[in-house]
Chain A
Amino acid sequence: MATLQSTTTVTTRARPRAAISRDALLKWAPLLVLLVLCAIFTLMEPRFLSIRNFARILIAASPALMVAVGVTFIIIMGSIDLSMEGTVSVCAVAFAFCFLWLGGTLASWAWLAIPFAMLVGGLLGFVNGLIHVRLKIPSFMASLAMGFVGTGLAMVMTGGDRIRIEDELFRSLLTERILGFPLMVYVAGLFLLLGWFIQTRTTLGRNFYAVGGGEDLAVASGLNVARVRVLGYTLAGVFFAVGALLAVGRIGIAETATGNNFMFISITAVVVGGTALWGGIGGVWNTLVGVLIVFVIDNGMVVIGLPGYVQDGVLGILVILAVILSTDRKSISFVK
């Protein structure tokens, strides 16, 4: 697609070459939207542009960013994963139980609860992928049903109770700050880099694009698509687990409701960032920008003092605008 466009820009001699190519514009449009939003909010309320406020935005965004990065891989494949609310809840609760059982402080063996939660996330993702691939159920339905199972499982484990994590060492994710930003922001940053590494530097990452770009072609070139899909869902599950850990770190409570609202927020963010739902385009940096757009709007509306109900509407309009701006109308004939 990209090569096709660049040839057309070369052949149309009428316009000077110096004009910014549409490709570049499309690539940077989400970032542009983010910067414009920040500029508008800063103009209306200078306090928006402060480290304190940015820390607030990033704290709120970190768990969602991890979940969104996980689902990015799936969306690049042209599939979708709606199981995140259940998976996040189960991982949060599993972490909390394991953590308290092993001593309740990071300074003891209880640190094992962290890899354990990621293992649980990976396992749920693996099952999700298997159901989707082996039973040939479209990912939308398979993952939606797995989400129910996850939320239900978390409910069974907790019996509806909340579990408090009061270990100061673990809560230092939120309380300990470096350069004004709490540790959880750096943890999220590290995992974002890991996601970027997987996306660009591993065979699996490249295979996601191969599957999303054209599954027929991927199969014909001998790619084991079923394996790539299952691995993709497993990987997404691990990222959901990281999101769960950060969510627990942020509020200090693990419960069935820990996973609430992650589904729409993360998918909105991925799409706003410019990763197309039909697959093959986008990546984790797009997702970072998308998540920031969503949370900057959320925060900016409060900072400039607009009533709560305006936020939803503005977010809705911006989501539509962002997708319209980032869609190349010439390359698609219709959308579903």
Chain B
Amino acid sequence: MSMEKLKPWFPWITLAVLVLLVGAVNPAFFKLSGMVALVADIVPLFIMALGMTFAIYIGGIDLSMQQVANLVTVVATVYLAQFGPFVALLCVAAGFAIGAVSGWITTRQFVPSFVATLAMGFIALSGARFLSGERALSMNAEARDASFGWMFGNTAGVPHELIIAGVLLAFAWFLQTRTTFGRALKAVGAGELAAVASGLKVDRIKILAFALSGSFAAIAGLMFSVKLSGGDANLANGFLILAIVAVLVGGTPLTGGVGGVINTLVGTLIVVVIRTAMVYLEVDATMQQMIFGIILIVAIAMTIDRSKMRIVK
């Protein structure tokens, strides 16, 4: 039975082994300042993965996140001068609305979330391209510093990005473990029919889960846009797949009901350690993508808990 007890810790063990391996080959990896900078750098990805966790936790998926983030970078850039810091509310509201519509299409119209969110992503992309006039926009530097300059400051050596990530993680963790909504999410993910039979308002819960993932995508998009001081309909491209990978490697399987936001933290770290390790170990740039894929297969094979999956599809 010790194997059974050990299983939830597999992602942690994978992470520890990876860190030790890289550190053993190149001790420079262990330098604290380098590590903090490294982790601070991936905060937008982590936030996106956090949101993705909600969608995957209920057994769905949200493929619109990248496009929502793209749209938000444009929205933030265009309306920053007009609304100041309150543009953040507008951004999150946009993400929430798009997510809620995806959720509504999935639950009420019986369109699988894979397709519904993919399609909503196209619609968001359309909005982003329209609003940006198909150009890369840049923010007014003064307005940016006045409204969001605090995002990239330091307090006692801790980058504020990390604090934001910590707050969001705490919020997501609280939702997941300490609220009835969180328990309902688990019920829906573990067995939707049973959840319906026990009187849960499953439709509402699922719509809210997608709205949450949309909101997190919006926050990630806002951070991108402030960080890069601009907005563009392609700014966040490439992050969707990484966010999904981070969630899956962390041990939240696509079947739902297992895992959670802490797993996503570990998963994101694993992804980042693998990526960075290749730089530290001086892997040839053209080889990196391939090696990333291979390590990914190994990491997933080691990490996922198959006891809850009857048929592997």
Contacts and interface: CB of A to CB of B under 8 A. Distances in A.
Interface of A: 77-79, 86, 131-133, 135-142, 144-153, 155-156, 159-160, 215-216, 264, 267-268, 271, 277-278, 307-317, 319-320, 323-324, 327, 329, 332-336
Interface stretch (B35-43, B85-93, B301-309): B301-309
A152 B46 CA distance: 24
Contact of A137 (B122, B291, B301): B301
B300 A149 contact: no
A316 B126 contact: yes
A142 B294 CA distance: 10
Nearest to B130: A309
Contact of B202 (A308, A310, A323, A334): A334
A320 B129 contact: no
B111 A148 contact: no
8 contacts: A86-B293, A145-B296, A152-B289, A271-B112, A314-B126, A319-B119, A332-B110, A336-B60
Nearest to A156: B286
B148 to A, nearest CB: 27
B193 interface: yes
B298 to A, nearest CB: 9
A275 to B, nearest CB: 11
A316 B122 contact: yes
B129 A268 contact: no
Contacts of A320: 105, 109, 111, 115-116, 119-120
Contacts of A145: 245, 293-294, 296-297, 300
Given A149-B290, A335-B106, A309 B311 contact: no
A151 B289 contact: yes
Given A144-B245, A152-B287, A317-B123, A327 B111 contact: yes
A155 B290 contact: yes
B99 interface: no
Contacts of B53: none
A320 B290 CA distance: 34
B112 A335 contact: yes
B122 A312 contact: yes
For the residues of A in contact with B, the DSSP-based class is helix
Contacts of B119: 268, 315-317, 319-320
Interface in B110-149: 110-116, 118-123, 125-127, 129-130, 134
Contacts of A138: 253-255, 304, 309, 312-313
Contacts of A307: 130
Nearest to A155: B286
Contacts of A136: 306, 309, 312
Contact of A312 (B126, B293, B296): B126
Interface string B254-295: 111000000000000000000000000000001111111110
Contacts of A148: 289-290, 292-293, 296
B297 A142 contact: yes
B241 interface: yes
B230 interface: no
B122 A313 contact: yes
Contacts of A160: 286
| 8 closest residue pairs by CB, A with B | A152-B290, A313-B126, A148-B293, A316-B122, A152-B289, A149-B293, A309-B129, A316-B119
A242 to B, nearest CB: 23
Contacts of B312: 132-133, 136-139
Given A144-B244, A308-B134, A312-B122, A336 B256 contact: yes
